[in-house]
Amino acid sequence: MNNDTVSTDVLIIGGGPAGLATAIHLADTLKQKGQGQRILLIEKGSSIGSHIISGAVIKPEVFKELLPEVDISEIPFNAKVIKDNTVLLSENGHLALPFHIPYMNNIGNYTASLGQICKYLAVKAQEKGVEIYTGFAVDEILYKDGKVTGAKTKDTGLDHHGHQLENFQAGTSIEAKITVFAEGTRGSLAKMLIKKFNLSKDRNEQIYSLGCKELWSVPQGNIEAGQIYHTMGYPLNNDEFGGGFIYGLNDNKVAVGLVVGLDYKDPSFDVHDAMQVWKTTSLVSRILKGGKLLEYGAKTLPEGGYYAVPKLYVDHALIVGDSAGLVTMPALKGTHLAIKSGMLAAQTAANALINNDCSEKSLQQYEVLMKASFIHNEMHVVRNTRQGFAKGLIIGGLHFGTQLISGGAGFFGRLRTHADHETTSKVSELKKKPFRERFKGKLEFDKVLTFDKATDIYHSGVYHDEQQVVHLHIHDQEKFNAINIEEYGAPEQFFCSSEVYELHTNKDGKKELRIHAENCMHCKTCDIKTPGERITWVVPNGGNGPDFQNM
C-alpha cells in the first residue's frame, strides 16, 4: 500500500503554458500518427491557473500553431492592445518617450490573465485525452542506472520534523518513458536535474527578476481597455534594472506591477515596497484613483536570456518554458516561447515514443528544432541585452545601442553575468543610501492606494497546511546568523514578496530570522537571492500556495 506506483508514457510536471502546450501538441501529434500513448500532467496548485501569474501582454500567433482547429476569438484573452506607451518616470512627474524601445511594441498583442488562458488550455488538453491531476506536489526525481525514470509525489501527513503522523499518505511513484519538466521559473526539480547532469556547463548563470503585481477594479474612465503603459526610471536607480507596467483590461480592471532585476546591490531593497512607492507617482495613482485592490501576487522570471539557457535534454527527460529560462529581454515575454518550446518538446517526444528510443541522442532533436524556430531567432538577437544592463542603465543603454547596430553581438561576443545571490552588498559596503532612507516618508502605506505586505498577501488567497516540514530550508544556521543576518542585515526580510521572513530582535538585542512559511507566494526569490545560497525552496504539500483567480 505504501509502494504506490503508476506508469505512463509521458509525465509532464507543471500545468503552466509550457506544460499544457506540451500535453496538447503531444496528444495531437500522437493522434495524427494513429498512436494513443498515455499523457499525465501534474500541477502543484489546487487548480490549473491558481499558481499562474504574468503581466500579461501576449503575442497571439503561437496559439494558432498550438490549436489550429480553434478560432482565435475562442481563447479567453482580455483586451487587444490599442495604445502602447513607454514613459520615463521621475519622482515628480513623467515624460512619455516619443519612441518605443525596440522589440517592445505591443500593438496587436493581447492583454490577458495567463491563469485564465491556462484554465482554457487545460480543458482543451483534457478533451484530447490528457489526464490532469492538480493539487499534487512532485518533490523527487526517480532514477535508475543514472537515468531519469519518472518522479514521485510528496509524502504527506508529516509533522514539522518530518515524522509520520497517523494520517500519513505515501507519495505515488510515477514511472514514465519521458518526463517533461515544466515547473516554471526556478523549478525545484529542474534545478536538481540541471545540477546532477551539469546542464549549465559553459553557460551563463541564470539571473532573474522579481515582479510584484496587483489587479485592481477602477472607476470607468480611469484607463481604457487595451491601453498599456511601460514605465522606466523612478523609483529605480540607474543600477537597478526594471520597470513598471500598467495594462488596461476589460470591465474597468487594470493590472499594475513592478519588475526589478534581482542583481541589485542594496540588501534592504524591497520590490513590493518599491512597487507601492511607484503607485504613488501621478501617472499610476491617477489610474488607480477611486479603485479597489482585487488581487496580489508575485513571481520571479528568468531573464538571463540566450546564454543562460541550459542544455534542455538528457536521457528520458526534457525541460521546457520558464524552467528552461526561455524569456526574451527586453520585451519580458515568455508565454509564446513557453508554448513553442512545449510544442517542440512534444514533437521530439512523439518521435521518440514512436521509435521507441527515448535516449539523450533521440531527444537531441529538441535542440535542433529549437535552433530552427523563432525561439532561437528572438532570443539570439537580444542575447546580450540583459547582461549589458547589469553594468547600469547608462552603460547598458550604450551596449543595447551597439547591439542594435551589430545584430546583438555588441562590442564583445558574449557578456557574462553573476548569479543574483552574489550581487548583494554587505550593509557596510553599500555605497548608496539604503532603501528605507531613500524612500523615507513614502513607506507608510495608507491602505487605500498603497498596502503593506500583510494586506497584499491577504489578496492572494495563500494557504499552507500547518502540519508539514517547513518548505524553506536554511542551510548552516550558524553561518546564516553570522553572515546573512549580521553582515547583510537579513535581506530575506526585504526581498521576500510575501513576508515569509521576519527578523526578530528581542529585548536583549538577540536577532533571529523567523519563517512564516504559510505566507509563501511560491515566487522563489529566496532560493535565488539569498547570499551564499543559504535558503533552498522545496515544494510544500500539493494544493498549498496562492490561489490566484485572474492573475
CA distance 229 to 100: 11
CA distance 436 to 35: 60
41, 319, 365: which is closest to 197 by C-alpha?
Answer: 319
288, 254, 230: which is closest to 99 by C-alpha?
Answer: 230
Q: Is 189 in the site for another protein (CB under 8 A)?
A: no
Whose Cβ is closer to another protein: residue 169's or residue 365's? Answer: 169
Residue 21 has which C-alpha cell? 502546450
Q: Is 168 in the site for another protein (CB under 8 A)?
A: yes
Side-chain half-sphere exposure of 266, counting CA atoms within 13 A: 22
Whose Cβ is closer to another protein: residue 457's or residue 526's? Answer: 457
CA distance 32 to 165: 48
Q: How far is the CB of 434 from another protein (least distance, A)?
A: 17
Whose Cβ is closer to another protein: residue 467's or residue 477's? Answer: 467
The contact mask relative to another protein for 74-113 (x = CB under 8 A, - = no) is: ----------------------------------------
DSSP 8-state assignment for residue 70: S
Q: Is 6 in the site for another protein (CB under 8 A)?
A: yes
Q: How far is the CB of 51 from another protein (least distance, A)?
A: 16
Whose Cβ is closer to another protein: residue 4's or residue 74's? Answer: 4
Q: How far is the CB of 421 from another protein (least distance, A)?
A: 28
CA distance 145 to 88: 56
Q: How far is the CB of 470 from another protein (least distance, A)?
A: 15
CA 225 to chain centre: 25
Q: Is 133 in the site for another protein (CB under 8 A)?
A: yes
Contact by Cβ (8 Å): 222, 297: no
What b/e sequence results for 336-354 when a residue is b if at least 16 CB atoms lie within 10 Å of its CB, and e otherwise?
A: bbbbbbbbbbbbbbbbbbe
How many residues line the site for another protein (CB under 8 A)? 36
CA distance 171 to 102: 48
Q: How far is the CB of 516 from another protein (least distance, A)?
A: 8
Whose Cβ is closer to another protein: residue 42's or residue 472's? Answer: 42
Place of cell 547608462: 394
CA distance 547 to 549: 6
Q: How far is the CB of 182 from another protein (least distance, A)?
A: 17
CA distance 90 to 540: 41
Q: Is 457 in the site for another protein (CB under 8 A)?
A: yes
Q: Is 454 in the site for another protein (CB under 8 A)?
A: yes
Whose Cβ is closer to another protein: residue 333's or residue 453's? Answer: 453
Q: Is 505 in the site for another protein (CB under 8 A)?
A: yes
Q: How far is the CB of 130 from another protein (least distance, A)?
A: 12
E strands present in 304-356 = 313-314, 317-319
Q: Is 201 in the site for another protein (CB under 8 A)?
A: no
Q: How far is the CB of 517 from another protein (least distance, A)?
A: 12
53-61, 169-177, 319-327, 476-484 -> range binding another protein (CB under 8 A): 169-177
Q: Is 135 in the site for another protein (CB under 8 A)?
A: yes
CA distance 43 to 46: 8
Q: Is 167 in the site for another protein (CB under 8 A)?
A: yes
Among 467, 476, 479, 482, binds another protein (CB under 8 A): 467
Side-chain half-sphere exposure of 245, counting CA atoms within 13 A: 26
Whose Cβ is closer to another protein: residue 61's or residue 518's? Answer: 518
72-80, 288-296, 324-332, 505-513 -> range binding another protein (CB under 8 A): 505-513
CA distance 413 to 108: 33
Place of cell 496528444: 27
Interface with another protein by CB under 8 A: which residues? Answer: 4-6, 42, 131, 133, 135-136, 153, 156-157, 165-172, 174, 454, 457-458, 465-467, 504-507, 514, 516, 518, 541-543
